[in-house]
Amino acid sequence: MPKLFVAALLALGIMIPLRAASTDTAMLKRISSRVDDHAGVISIEASDPVPYVASQPDPMTFVIEMRDVLAVGFADNFTRDPRVPITGVHVENARAFDGASIARVSVALAQPIRPRVRSSRNVIYVEADRLDRAAAGVVSSAGPSTAIRDLRVDRRGASTAITLKASGRLVATNVEESKDGPARLYVDLANVTSSLPGLTPVGQGTVQNVRIALSDKSPMLTRVAVEMTRRSAYRLEASPDGQQLTMLIDDGPPASPQVQAASVLAPAKAAAAQPQPAALMAQAQAPPAAVFAPPPQAPAQTPAPVPPAGTQTTQIGPTGPRYTGHPVSLDFQGADLRPVLRTFAEISGLNIVIDPTIQGTVDVSLRDVPWDQALDIILRANKLGYVVDGTIVRVAPLGVLADEETQRRKLAEEQALSGELRVMTRALSYARAEDLRALLTATVLSSRGSIQTDPRTNTIIINDLPDRLQRATDLVSTLDAPQPQVEIEARIVQTTRQFARTLGVQWGIGGQMSNTLGNTTGL
């Protein structure tokens, strides 16, 4: 009978791993759907509790992958209901990198939303809010389902208001101004796509154009660039549901850095609440407000004004690691650690090599968290680390990586010391060879090097590796220099007591009386 069953499966074109026939492989029993008061629910039932991974490769598709599950002969009781934004369910069998069987359930969506996922024993539930309920709408999530649908420009007093409307929450992870070149304001939105043209002309106040495109830093970020005629003060406002983000650009004269530093992003209708830390991927249910301001050019001379009561403020900055992976939902109960790590290779598309010494189990239940954050949490919980070599990520215990780094450093040192020794002689002109011996030994010589001196000729003899000889030559040239000297010029003058009398001018008349000169002598 088992042979006939396997033959029937092969006839259906289903690839069965060698381990699929073992008792560890569960079977997909049925897929059913129902509509509750507020949501539509799809139930995926297996024969045993199984680990699964939920992901959303595009805004209109939601995927559940169940490991060690075979989808054959299950009951498909899914019925489409126009009140629920789910149009269909497709099931297929796949294989993991290690040959394990995977049952992949793809849920087609009628609009870009982020369904919720939960599990109870051997049943996985996928929920989507009903379309005919007032409370229905886009599920608050920072997943890839958020899409910018509309851009509106209007005037608010002396400011130009640019409002972005989206199908989900708009969460700004970074706000900055251009440091040089044309005046621009950049706003980065996490896990957001845009259905608008890349360029939207504005031509109001100081705002010329608005550009929306994927960020060149990360494919998970969408960058909104506001092109302005000059630098202006600005602030951002978010609606209570987070689906609208308004950028207010001041059209007045440029504000001082102190005034710019007080720009506050607040909800359009602020409600009294306690401040809470900003989530990197915006998993909070209530949209927080945040302080957005250009960096001040000089220290503020006056204190910044206090935000109004009921306004939540959170400073946006590099306070911790940022995760940019697409959100996934994980539910593992006592699962083997090695298959879980291989699952991340399928989620991320990375080439992952797992150290043979890794053993353990994983018990996690995560919903809509970035996959790189989930991987980091699992690695830290099991005292594991990773190294990246090109496109390959190697996962190993922290102790193993530390030992490898130590051995790698020792190998590099040994390779550096494995060269041929050479001899360099240098006759010194000003420094004493014996005085430089200790200095060169402590600073530039390797463990294989040696120094000898010749006191008669004041010559230093160094035997070491070529690179160390070059360093020693440079150091000797610097030290073998003449000491600065002072030149003193002196004259010796001998004097007597009568010397002062000889100074000055001596007056006198000289003459000669002689008949030959025609002078009378008086004789």
What is each CA distance from 406 to 34, 385, 396, 413, in whole angstroms? 59, 15, 15, 11
Least confident of 25-29, 414-418, 426-430: 414-418
Of 182 and 315, the structure prediction assigns the larger pLDDT to 182
| Mean pLDDT, the chain, integer | 75
Alpha-carbon Rg of the chain, whole angstroms?
42
Q: How far apart are CA 424 and CA 408, in angstroms?
A: 31
Q: How far apart are CA 47 and CA 30, in angstroms?
A: 9
Check pLDDT > 70 for residue 59. yes
Of 493 and 223, the structure prediction assigns the larger pLDDT to 223
Residue 211 in tokens: 């550009």
Which pLDDT score is estimated for 191? 75
Check pLDDT > 90 for residue 438. no
DSSP H or E run through 13: none
Which pLDDT score is estimated for 360? 87
Which pLDDT score is estimated for 117? 86
Which pLDDT score is estimated for 506? 64
Biggest alpha carbon–alpha carbon distance for the chain: 181
pLDDT in tens, 362-405: 888 888 888 888 888 899 888 898 888 777 888 999 888 888 88
Check pLDDT > 50 for residue 217. yes
* Fold agreement between 146-269+280-291 and 327-416: no
Average pLDDT for residues 257-265, to the nearest whole number? 42
Is 84 strand, coil or helix? Answer: coil
Which pLDDT score is estimated for 144? 42
Fold of 146-269+280-291: Immunoglobulin-like (2.60.40)
Beta bridge partners of 89: 107
Which pLDDT score is estimated for 305? 45
Between 2.60.120.10, 3.30.465.10, 3.20.20.105, 3.30.1370.120, what CATH number should domain 422-479 receive? 3.30.1370.120
Is 513 strand, coil or helix? Answer: coil
Residue 307 in tokens: 């935000």
CATH class of 327-416: alpha beta
pLDDT in tens, 452-503: 999 889 999 998 888 888 888 888 888 888 888 888 888 887 777 776 666 6
Which pLDDT score is estimated for 315? 40
Q: How far apart are CA 138 and CA 239, in angstroms?
A: 14
Name the amino acid, one letter, at 9. Answer: L
DSSP state of 305: P
Residue 260 in tokens: 């710019």
Residue 13 in tokens: 């074109």
Of 108, 106, 84, 63, nearest to 326 (Cα)? 63
pLDDT in tens, 340-363: 888 888 777 778 888 888 888 888
Confidence of residue 178 (pLDDT cuts 50, 70, 90): confident
Of 80 and 327, the structure prediction assigns the larger pLDDT to 80
Q: What is the CATH number of domain 2-129?
A: 2.60.40.3500
pLDDT in tens, 131-143: 876 333 333 333 4
DSSP state of 315: B
pLDDT in tens, 273-314: 333 333 333 333 333 333 333 444 444 444 444 444 444 433
Average pLDDT for residues 100-105, to the nearest whole number? 89
- Domain map (residue ranges) of the chain: 2-129, 146-269+280-291, 327-416, 422-479
Which pLDDT score is estimated for 222? 83
Which pLDDT score is estimated for 366? 84
Which pLDDT score is estimated for 91? 93
Of 404 and 22, the structure prediction assigns the larger pLDDT to 404
Q: How far apart are CA 21 and CA 46, in angstroms?
A: 16
DSSP state of 120: E
Q: How far apart are CA 240 and CA 140, in angstroms?
A: 12
Which pLDDT score is estimated for 359? 87
**What is the DSSP secondary-structure string of 19-81?**
GGGSTT-EEEEEEEEEE-SSEEEEEEEESS---EEEEEEETTEEEEEEETEE-SS-EEE----
Beta bridge partners of 101: 95
Which pLDDT score is estimated for 89? 94
pLDDT more than 70, % of the chain: 73
Of 259 and 79, the structure prediction assigns the larger pLDDT to 79
Check pLDDT > 70 for residue 260. no
Phi, psi (degrees; rounded to nearest 5) at 407: -65, -35
**SS percent in the chain: helix, strand, coil, step 5:** 15, 40, 45
308 burial (CB, 10 Å; 0-12 / 13-18 / 19+) is exposed
pLDDT in tens, 146-170: 788 889 999 888 889 999 998 888 8
Q: How far apart are CA 162 and CA 206, in angstroms?
A: 12
What is each CA distance from 318 to 174, 439, 446, in whole angstroms? 9, 45, 42
Check pLDDT > 80 for residue 323. no
